[in-house]
Amino acid sequence: MRWFGFGFNAFGQIYVHEKLIKGVCSDAVNEVKVSSPTELASQVDRSDCCLTTDYQIRASWSRRASLHLDGDRCVCLAGFVSNESCGRPMKESRGCKDAIISESYLTLAFSDRLESWDLQKKEKTPSWSMKIKPHPESSGPPVNLPLVPGGYIATKPPLYRSLSPHLRAKSLALSAEHVILLTASGAVYTWGLGSHGQLGHGGLSSEEEPRAVEALWGMPMSCIASGGWHSVCISDGGDLYVWGWNKSGQLGLPSQGLRKTLQQQSSQQAGAPCQDASTSPTEEPKEEEKHEEVFISIQAFPALLDITPSCEIRTVSCGCRHTAAVTTTGDLYTWGWGDYGQLGHQTFISSDEPQRVEFFREQQMRVVDVVCGAWNTFAAGVKEEVA
């Protein structure tokens, strides 16, 4: 399995210049915007890093954590980190089973304990820790971060937040200001800020406690993800549901603001005024042209998004204002804000329509996983076997 990254790279989250890999990572950046999928390991000195063919990616706005899964399990950090940590195994992470990263904290799960390390301070001890009962199967993860026994780990203090055991939580997705929870039965609960419809309850009110998304009741879900102010989930049948803010087209629904921006850019590039010269200001449109396209700024209820009729959705991830989904056939689709190349289409154009990332098809690769940072995207692919 090979991991590729594209999008925001100002801190070297995707790669740094080969000659400066051993320098200060935050300054040794070759390119701020990466519009074409770039293999992560190809720019890293493997002798200094614990990356192998079996690892997972965790991402925040300025950082990337690579969780090494076989052999000497550990975490490697990239991006806005200290020179001593960049690209090398974090010694405090040796033996960890799982990890999550935010702008301030790296939380590690071990067989018998949890630890959160403050990434903004050079401390020799974790800022928070909690003992847990060892997992019966030593090879399996004791927790499914950010879920932990009795609650979950937040992005800011208090790091530990309790949850009712009656929820029977299976997985949990965090944004900066709202939370999505998936139960063992496939029900979806949300709480937190609701100002952009991201809770899916039909209004813009916030919720202090977990509340079931009634529009999805009776349809078991298998996967959840949260963006800046939007939310998505996948049903057991492989259907994708979206809700929340859509200003940048991150829901895959028609965005008026995005369409206007693209029209202005197109007109400026063509050297023509924004208004179509073939139509005078007073000219009335023909009767058959008097239909208005429906634009959606906020989708307060879950809406079914049909990406491709030929296959189902396997997994999904959200950035701040973009979304990425992998189909059961191994294709990667992205949509939303694309100013940093985070859509992977080798352009910096945003889109409110899901588009397939052709790079992986061209490389005869099947995408098996995707993880979005705030302004970038990381995708894992395997070579297609030719019959």
Q: What is the mean pLDDT of the chain?
A: 86
Per DSSP, the three-state class of 155 is: coil
172 φ, ψ to 5°? -145, 135
The two most distant CA atoms of the chain are separated, in Å, by 76
Tokens of residue 34, six digits = 């990466």
Phi-psi label, residue 202: left if phi above 0, alpha if psi -120 to 50, beta otherwise: left
Tokens of residue 45, six digits = 């000195």
Least confident of 47-56, 87-96, 175-184, 339-348: 47-56
| Gap between the Cα atoms of 309 and 305, Å rounded | 10
pLDDT digits (tens, 9 = 90+) for 131-186: 998 766 544 456 799 999 999 999 999 999 999 999 999 999 999 999 999 999 99
> According to the model, what pLDDT value does residue 52 have?
57
What's the whole-model pTM score? 0.88
Least confident of 25-34, 232-241, 283-292, 367-376: 283-292
CA angle 323, 324, 326 (to 5 degrees): 150
Total number of residues shown for the chain: 387
Tokens of residue 298, six digits = 């906020």
Say if CB 301 and CB 215 are below 8 A apart. yes
> According to the model, what pLDDT value does residue 89 have?
83
Residue 129 — very low, low, confident or very high, per pLDDT cuts 50/70/90?
Answer: very high
Say if CB 68 and CB 52 are below 8 A apart. yes
| Gap between the Cα atoms of 353 and 15, Å rounded | 28
Tokens of residue 258, six digits = 């995005």
E strand or H helix at 43, and its extent?
none
Say if CB 54 and CB 382 are below 8 A apart. no
pLDDT above 70 as % of the chain: 82
> According to the model, what pLDDT value does residue 155 have?
92
Q: What is the mean pLDDT of residues 19-38?
A: 65
Helix, strand, coil fractions of the chain, as percent rounded to 5: 10, 40, 50
Q: Domain 163-269+294-356 belongs to what topology?
A: Methylamine Dehydrogenase; Chain H (2.130.10)
pLDDT digits (tens, 9 = 90+) for 278-331: 333 344 445 544 456 789 999 999 999 999 888 899 999 999 999 999 999 999
Give the residue from 321, 44, 329 showing the smallest Cα distance to 198: 321
Q: Which residue has the higher pLDDT, 128 or 290?
A: 128
